[in-house]
Amino acid sequence: MPTPTSDTPRLAIRGIRKVYPSVVANDGIDLTVMPGQIHAVLGENGAGKSTLMKVIYGVIRPDEGELLWEGRPVIISNPAQARSLGIGMVFQHFSLFETLTVVQNVALSIPGKLDLDPLAKRIEEVSERYGLPVDPRRMVHALSVGERQRVEIIRCLLQNPRLLILDEPTSVLTPQAVRKLFETLRQLAAEGVSILYISHKLDEIQELCHKATVLRGGKVTGTCTPAEETPQTMARMMIGVDLPACSHGEPEDGGEVRLLIQGLSHATDDPFGTDLKDIHLEVKAGEIVGIAGVSGNGQQELLRAISGEEPHADKRAVRVCGVEAGHMNAARRRGLGMCFVPEERLGRGAVPRLSLTENILLTAYRKGMLFAGLIRFGVAKRFAEECIKRFDVKCGGAHSEAKSLSGGNLQKFIVGREIMQEPKLLVLAQPTWGVDVGASSFIRQSVLDLRNSGTAVLVISEELEELFEICDRIVVIAKGTLSPSKVTSETNVEEIGMWMSGLWPGAKTQGEATHVA
Amino acid sequence: MDLSFLSSILFATVVAGTPLIIVALGELVTEKSGVLNLGAEGIVSVGAVAAFAVAHHSGSPMLGILAGMGAGMVMSLLFGISALTLMANQVASGLALSIFGVGLSAFIGKPYESIALASVQPIRVPLLHRLPLLGPSLFEQQGLVYFSWALIAAVSWFLYRSRAGLVLRAVGESPVAAHAIGYGVVRIRYQAVLFGGAMAGIGGAFLSVFYTPMWVEGMVAGRGWIALSLVVFATWRPLRVMIGAYLFGGCMITQMFVQGSGARVNIPAQFLSSIPYVATVLVLVLISRNRSTIRINSPASLGQPFLPDA
Amino acid sequence: MWLKFEQRPEPSKVMTYLSPLLAVGLMFLSGLILFLVLGKSPVEGFKVFFLNPLRDSYGVAELFLKATPLMLCAVGLSVGFKANVWNIGAEGQLLIGALAGGWLALHFEGSTSRLLLPGMIVAGALGGMAWAAIPAFLRTRFNANEILTSLMLVYVAELMVSWLVHGPWKDPDGFNFPQTKLFSATATLPLLLAGTRVNVALIFAIGALVVGWIFMNRSFMGYQMKVAGQAEFAGRYAGFSAKRSVWIGMLAGGAMAGVAGISEVAGPIGQITEHISPGYGFAAMIVAFVGRLSPIGIFFSSLLMALLYMGGEQAQQYLNLPSSISKVFQGMLLFFLLGSDVFINFRPRLVRRRK
């Protein structure tokens, strides 16, 4: 048996293959990580990154292939075993329990007796050493996303991992918080910990990673040293073609106000929610306004208040196309000319088990699809078919279930359904979240075209790059309050990033800034 | 009102509340793992008839309890196969279990309908049973009454002090996250379901072997459903289950005393008999109106099937 | 080797229809085993239970008679079940419907008005709706779980029937039996076929199936119910009222159960007694599920369920078994159905367990 030396890879994987009934998620993947190396795994949504990490962490079993841990072949059959080998994982969608405290959450992944006091002390020690401040006694649901991520990292570090896997760790952080995270990761690497860093953000990978393995369609399409590459060359490896660019056009000046929010305040009755405080916002015809912010700062609540999914008593707080609409439900607001693309596609924007035709009915029924309370399925079907054609939705046809579509295609369908209703005001939440590059740029272009034809557009997104690419003005939401707006060309990522911590000029919530970061 | 009357009311209240405590605590543990088993009524019924049959044939009440427990576990295993392994709708699976269990108990119990068991002598707690008022009502009780008290302590300790309890709550909170960090969600849920079944079976045994002691079709009379409501009433906290169970016990007993007292009350017996059911509805309304209490205390994944992605 | 279920990319349409048949097959099979365990000849048992009831035209007529209340309740419940509104108190709604309509019959005893019978039917429907409105109100106003409240109200309804037939409504010339006077001819549903007990309620039931089919498959409101049941947040996103779904779901179940109730007391029973329904309201839930919540399916599954009721009576008479055996069969049927449904979304695969 070879003894691990610094030339022995910490982890080497050979020919990993994982097949699901509808897709080959991993197809013969090789990857090698050295001790102390920060190794990027780069790929689009659906390239197979998450599946590969779950294989390494023992959450799912590969159909073929082998793993070598410090030179020795191993079969990792569950996460506990992975942890005992020295593998830690920070999940993209955090695997924390909201109604438990931080220390209870950590205890769940540490074997042995339940002894919370000494554990809380150890958490404090680690959090101090690596600059990851967190209070072990707090309930997780009261933590910001940034804090939750720290809890996950600390949970891994407590077990002295020799390989740390981070799955899209920066998608929930402000640019400033990303920099702090990178410092922590570099410190860990310097101590000899190997890091697998999963991301689709090319600039971050260039800044942080020593090596990169690129995946596309479940296969490795290349390995490289990011420092020697450009974002363009890596993008080509990642998506196979050059990054598509959008054609912008100019925003219309002095269009009428289509969405006006004045003094909207709302105390949420969801114990895990965020209160909205005195929100003011206007969106005019022919412009795209973006709302930036770290998730969990009131985006959900604001969206529900705008869409009418949660109508409020004060009808003057929200005006749609000049009509007081605060008290109206979503259907009545649609009647005023507002359309809405929600963040969750399955289960909110579309009913998973209904056909695309039936999903058209969900919001577009006003387009002549009803007669005396009965449904005119023929009209709905033609609408669906046109939507599929115009928005290039890849599916089996209008009779396909929404569930059977890929994320990108379903999103194109939903965006198409809303745009085809010719809205005066379109609201989109995370329009390209989890969508492949091709569909993303198609959706962005559709939104830009819509703006150019005189529609008012509001986009809420956690992806700053996206907002900077398509928006004419940007506002920031933090702790349930909204910042003043900035014309996109007159600001930059750095400034908006600061604002995302609640630190804009005249902000009332200075003291809570650290809580957000 | 003299002391012995008060004492006998208290005694009867405790007796009437005991099966509710046992059944509800079992269900509480099941629900904490994220599984809603609406089959309690059926499990209690089958547990009661199995316990009665075994106690009758063997002459041993203890064997009766074990039989009730075993029958309850077999019944809940049926639920587990349907709702956990085959991932069927939990509500429908629970209803199926209730309908099936009530029917099965009537079917099995037919030959036993006109038999009475000898009543089982209570267990006196040394010294304590001499206390005035409380002594005869609390400390000259059936063993299962003491068991129900121990169960409250045990379940509280398990849920809030033990590692296994923490894991159970974690599974109920987010099965996906629990699976991701390596816990066998389905296995843990099976254990919780079986525990719930065992307790419901014991609750049934208490009814048919100790409480009445006989078997009549329909004798469970909705106690399984009331126990389910108690879990909501208690907002998933063990100690509150006890409070609720004795409140209900008090309801049932008071109406029985009024009916049995021969007092010239002009209230039809059926009105008095409906009190526990109406009270259950009222209690559900009072507790449920505060959505955020329910949201914080109820297991977040309650009723949702879990499919591991391995 | 062990059995593993693997998710299908798309749910199998074939299995959607095959699974109830599989469940029925499994029920027959376990019926044979059950008879064997009970020391009866399985062939004889099967014959007595499943074939005897249908050996003559009177038996077939009885089958439709018993299927009628099941059809009515099930089609009403299915509307709610589609929207995840779990009304499990149809039994109570049935009883209150019987009381409401029966009250008219007793109050206008001897009336020859042609309006009496239609009035009774309407009163039955309203009575059932009123009883169902309680859980609907408590759910929409106070967020109280309708499963538990509707079920509790079954016990209350049973006690109410018991009180009335023992007390205020007891037939003074009835030798102290707990029952009301027999309804007069004008307050009794006309028979469809002389020599049988099948009455016009069967027409109501089939009408209800047709209306139910149109509502669920063609109307926009039915579509909204479906959305509410499958994806609550999509319903809210679309702006469909969740409360309205609860109300419609509960009231549809209550109305149909009420009609079933009055059809029983103004039909085969002819008076109000303590035994109006042998659990039709509960069995109807099984009927609804086995019928895939679709009116066409419900038509067939209600006939099957009626057969189970009749089989139980036959088994009591000829095999000396308690008639509650039919409830055992009913419960098994639902279990087998829920189990078989796994094949709609999953396919079984034998895999080798890894070390």
Residues 6+ apart with CB under 8 A from A119: A103, A106, A107, A110, A136
Please indicate, yes or no, whether residues A51 and A156 belong to a single structural domain of this protein: yes
pLDDT > 80? residue C4: no
Choose from C4, C214, C215, C237 for mutation: most chain A CBs within 10 A. C237
Across the range C99-125, mean pLDDT stands at 94
On whether any CB of chain A is under 8 Å from the CB of C346, the answer is: no
Contact predicate A275/A480, CB 8 Å: yes
Res A509: pLDDT: 52
Q: How confident is the model at residue B223, as a pLDDT?
A: 95
Q: Which of residues 267-286 of A touch B (CB under 8 A)?
A: 269-271
Say what the pLDDT of residue A249 is. 79
- Tell me how close the Cα of B229 comes to any Cα of chain C, in angstroms: 7
The subunits that touch chain A, with at least 3 C-beta pairs less than 8 Å apart, are: B, C
In a domain, A367, yes or no: no
Shortest distance between the Cα of B86 and any Cα of chain A, in A, equals: 18
Averaged over B66-85, what is the pLDDT?
96
What does the domain layout of chain B look like in residue ranges? 3-116+141-297
Identify the weakest region by mean pLDDT among A18-22, B150-154, C279-283: A18-22
**Does the pLDDT value for residue A172 go beyond 50?**
yes
Higher pLDDT, B122 or B65: B65
Position C355 scores a pLDDT of 39
Lowest average pLDDT, out of A214-223, A481-490, B261-270, C153-162, goes to B261-270
The ipTM of this complex is 0.91
Of A90-94, A395-399, C211-215, give the lowest mean pLDDT range: A90-94
Q: Does residue A50 sit in the same domain as residue A195? A: yes
Mean pLDDT is lowest, of A154-163, A503-512, C56-65, C176-185, for A503-512
Average pLDDT value for residue range C71-83: 97
Q: Which domain holds residue A451?
A: 257-337+423-516
* Average pLDDT for A41-63: 88
Q: Who has greater pLDDT, C3 or A212?
A: A212
Quick one: pLDDT band at residue A173, thresholds 50, 70, 90?
confident
**Chain B hits for A80, Cβ within 8 Å:** 182
List chain C residues with CB under 8 Å of B81: 339
Q: A229 and A268: one domain?
A: no
Q: Are residues A439 and A331 in the same domain?
A: yes
pLDDT for res A501 = 87
Three-class SS string for A299-323?
Answer: HHHHHHHHHCCCCCCCCCCEEECCE
C165: phi then psi, degrees, rounded to nearest 5:
-80, -20
Contacts of A490 (CB under 8 A, 6+ apart): none
Tell me what the mean pLDDT of segment A384-394 comes to: 94
The stretch C30-55 carries a mean pLDDT of: 91
Q: Does A346 score more than 50 pLDDT?
A: yes
Q: Reduced to 3 states, what is the DSSP secondary structure of residue A111?
A: coil
pLDDT for B305:
84
In a domain, A384, yes or no: no
| Residue contact A270–B292, C-beta within 8 A | yes
Q: Is it the case that residue A3 has pLDDT exceeding 50?
A: no
Higher-pLDDT residue of A111 and B16 is B16
Q: DSSP state, C48?
A: I
Give the pLDDT of residue A516: 43
Do A101 and A181 have their domain in common?
yes
A356 touches A388 (CB < 8 A): yes
| B3-116+141-297: CATH number | 1.10.3470
Per the CB < 8 A criterion, the answer to whether A18 and A63 are in contact is yes
The token duo for C20 is 């109830």
Which stretches within A391-502 are classed as H helix?
Answer: 407-419, 437-452, 464-470, 493-500
Q: What pLDDT score does A239 carry? A: 82
**A196 and A333 in one domain?**
no
Cα separation, B101 vs A187, whole angstroms: 62
For residue A316, is it within any domain?
yes
Q: What is the mean pLDDT of residues A237-244?
A: 78
Is residue C43 less than 8 Å (CB to CB) from chain A?
A: no
Q: Sorting pLDDT into bands at 50, 70 and 90, what band is B295?
A: confident
What average pLDDT does range A56-83 have in this prediction?
91
Per-residue pLDDT for B302 more than 70?
A: yes
Check residue A246 and give its pLDDT.
Answer: 76
> For a pLDDT cut of 90, what percent of chain C falls above it?
82
Chain A closest-CA separation from residue B174 CA (Å): 6
Query: What is residue A289's three-state secondary structure?
Result: strand
CATH number at residue A460: 3.40.50.300
Q: What DSSP string runs through A76-95?
A: --SHHHHHHHTEEEE-SS--
Topology classification of domain C2-351? ABC transporter involved in vitamin B12 uptake, BtuC (1.10.3470)
pLDDT at A188 over 90: yes
Among the ranges given (A376-380, B23-27, B291-295, C11-15), the one the predictor scored with the smallest mean pLDDT: B291-295
Number of domains in chain A: 2
Residue C295, SS3 per DSSP = helix
Give contacts of A 104-123 with B, CB under 8 A.
Answer: 104, 107-109, 113-114
Interface contact B181-A109, CB threshold 8 A: yes
Q: Are residues A54 and A194 in the same domain?
A: yes
A369 within some domain: no
| A416 within a domain of the structure (yes/no) | no
Chain C (139-168) residues lying within 8 Å, Cβ to Cβ, of chain B: 142-145, 147-149, 151-153, 155-156, 159-160, 162-163, 166-167
Q: How far apart are CA C211 and CA C71, in angstroms?
A: 13
pLDDT at A24: 87
- Looking at residue C16, what is its pLDDT? 87
Of residues C182 and C13, which shows the higher confidence score? C182
Tens-place pLDDT, residues C303-312: 999 999 999 9
More confident residue, C157 or A243: C157
pLDDT band at A2 (very low <50, low <70, confident <90, very high): very low
Among residues A175, A210, A239, the one where a domain terminates is: A239
The answer to whether residue A194 is domain-embedded is yes
Q: What are the Cα distances from residue B42, in Å, to B32, B93, B260, B276, C323?
A: 20, 12, 29, 19, 18
Q: Do A362 and C9 touch (CB under 8 A)?
A: no
* Closest residue to C10, CB basis, from A351, A374, A404: A404
State the DSSP string of B111-153.
Answer: GGTT-BPPPPPPEEPTTGGGSTTHHHHHSEE-HHHHHHHHHHH
Percent of chain C surpassing pLDDT 70? 98
CA distance to partner chain C, nearest, from residue A350 (Å): 6
Let me know if residue A117 belongs to a domain. yes
Which of A86-95, A413-422, C27-36, C252-261 has the least mean pLDDT?
A86-95
Q: Residue C353: its chain B contacts at CB < 8 A?
A: none
- Annotated domain spans of chain C: 2-351
Half-sphere exposure of A156 (CA within 13 A, CB side): 29
C-proximal residues of A, 289-318, CB under 8 Å: 307-309
pLDDT score of C342 more than 90: no
Judged by CB atoms closer than 8 Å, whether chains meet at C148 and B289 is answered as no
Q: What is the 3-state secondary structure (H, E, C) of C212-248?
A: HHHHHHHEHHHHHHHHHHHCHHHHHHHCCCHHHHHHH
CA–CA separation, B129 and A422 (whole Å): 80
